[in-house]
Amino acid sequence: MTDNMAIERSRTVAVVGTGTMGQGIAQVALVAGHPVRLYDTAPGRARQAAEAITGRLGRLVEKGRMSPDERDAAAARLHVADTLEDLADAALVVEAVVERLTVKQELFTALERTVADDCLLATNTSSLSVTAIAAALRLPGRFVGLHFFNPAPLLPLVEVVSGFASDPAAATRAYATVEGWGKTPVRCADTPGFIVNRIARPFYAEALRLYEERAADPVTIDAVLRECGGFAMGPFELTDLIGQDVNEAVTRSVWEAFHHDPKFTPSLAQRRLVESGRLGRKTGQGWYGYAEGAERPVVPTEAPAPAPDKITVHGSLGHAEPLVRLIEEAGIKVRRHRRGHHITLPGGGHLTLADGEAVFEYEGEEIVYFDLAHDYTTATRIALATAPTTSPETLQEAVGLFQALGKEVTVIGDVPGMIVARTVAMLVDLAVDAVDREVASAEDIDTAMRLGVNYPAGPFEWAARLGYETVSDLLGSLHTRYPTGRYAPCLGVVRRDYEERAAMKGQDSR
């Protein structure tokens, strides 16, 4: 539908700023068939970038991803611009310079004096307001954000950001163009963090909060989110890769842009790490050490325990219902009971899916919480939580049960919501709020989170599996225990919870 809106392959694409991101964007446009011009204010930088891009095209030939003829044709389309005036015939100019508002505004003001009025202007900013950058322009309607992810030639996602003054036709043209380049674009309104950097904050923030609460150490939290939650990387190893200073700066920027909303509050622990100069892989030390010979800490894992010979399942376990089949397949006798939402162990202890409450609240009861998993069938690790009063026998029965299902078991501190459940509930909350504020569609948010940060499922996919009643109840319980506003469910989650309940009542009355 948008194909005929795309910029023609014969038209020139200009890239201003030839660092890593600028080079990546230029390579994408070049491989797609456009003539590409590179410009940089630093003398010789654009020529060096052109040579680097040509070298990468050669490596694509070596890997069989491009023919020698295609490489030669692409190299012939790549040109260096000595001045901004050399970009006069560009149909699209993408900027990837330093993240300073005045620098970007001055650049685009100068570009407007050079390019034609129908030239599409785009910024690759990840942290600044697209609206603010465009404010200095004579024709702000043709200005959009094209937020590529690094490395641009490899990662498919592009956030197409419409500023307050952006013309819808300009956003559609940008969308169609990057789609034609083989990318997966998503539409987004100009809001702090756009989609990915806004919605992803709880993935880092809840892990840091759990660490500050001494629920678990970084290696444990990472392992649980990977091996139980299904995430490709844990937040501590991921922020070490990104750079602690970079990740903390994005968090602080979003928090400040949202007027210090408690849902985006930065972490003091991460601030101290940055202040100490432990920025991650690039400095050789972050949450983990990266010096030669450094060893990753071992994930605390429970020793083997005997499996119970029978259990009782009370009511439905909801998202954890697949556990029943796994238990039966493990040869453990399962008895069903109508009421409740838990498993009773042989000794009388209750095994309950994390619900936002803490074990210590059940005084006199033998309770063991287990964490949410993306897929209980494929999860390789399960986290458990107990209170000091929980008997060793009850814990051993719970450990033995999950070990019989082929899972590694880790016991964490008694914190409401545990690790995965708390994180996922917050991701859903921010995603729903973004949709209701018309930042982006639910489909685009799910696409962005799967492709941009490699989540196992988008927030709305999680919500569909769990149900909004579960998400709302979990957040409500967390809000009761942490009454700062951080965990208060947004109105959209509460509304969807009511709608789901009403729909279920309507079905029951038929």
pLDDT in tens, the chain (510 residues): 456 799 999 999 999 999 999 999 999 999 999 999 999 999 999 999 999 999 999 999 999 999 999 999 999 999 999 999 999 999 999 999 999 999 999 999 999 999 999 999 999 999 899 999 999 999 999 999 999 999 999 999 999 999 999 999 999 999 999 999 999 999 999 999 999 999 999 999 999 999 999 999 999 999 999 999 999 999 999 999 999 999 999 999 999 999 999 999 999 999 999 999 999 999 999 999 999 888 889 999 999 999 999 999 999 999 999 999 999 999 999 999 988 899 999 999 999 999 999 999 988 889 999 999 999 999 999 999 998 889 999 999 999 999 999 999 999 999 999 999 999 999 999 999 999 999 999 999 999 999 999 999 999 999 999 999 999 999 999 999 999 999 999 999 999 999 999 988 777 666
Question: Could you tell me which residues are beta bridge partners of residue 336?
Answer: 313
Q: Given this model, what pLDDT does residue 3 score?
A: 63
Task: Judge contact between 423 and 373, C-beta under 8 A.
Answer: no
Assign residue 42 a region (left: φ > 0; alpha: ψ between -120 and 50; beta: otherwise): beta
Q: Can you tell me the distance from the alpha carbon of 81 to that of 481, in angstroms, rounded to the nearest whole number?
A: 59
How far apart are alpha carbons 161 and 143 in whole angstroms? Answer: 9
Q: Enumerate the active-site residues.
A: 126, 147, 159, 197
Cis-peptide, bond into residue 151, ω within 30° of zero: yes
CA separation (Å) from 254 to 97, 192, 258, 483, 504?
Answer: 20, 6, 6, 22, 38
